[in-house]
Structure 1
Amino acid sequence: MDTESAKKHKRKHKGFEMKGGKSKSDTRNAKLSVNKKPAKAGRKSGKAAKDPNKPKRPASAFFVFMEEFREQYKKDHPKNKSVAAVGKAGGEKWKSMSEADKAPFVAKAEKRKVEYEKDMKNYNRRQAEGTKPEEEEESEKSMSEVNDEDDDEEGSAEEDDDE
Structure 2
Amino acid sequence: MASSDPVHEFDSLRAQSKFIFAVFYRGHWCPFCRGWLSKLATLSPAIVAAGGTPVIITAEAEKYLDDTRAATKYDGKAIVDPENRLAKELDARGLVHVAISERSGYDHGMAQPALLVLKEDGTVLESWAIVPSTMNLGGAKDRPALDEVWENVEAQLHGKSKVHNTYSTA
Bin the TM-score by the shorter chain. Answer: under 0.3
TM-score, normalised by the number of residues in structure 2: 0.18
Q: TM-score, normalised by structure 1?
A: 0.19
Write 1 or 2 for the structure with the bigger share of helix: 1
> Which structure features the higher share of strand residues?
2
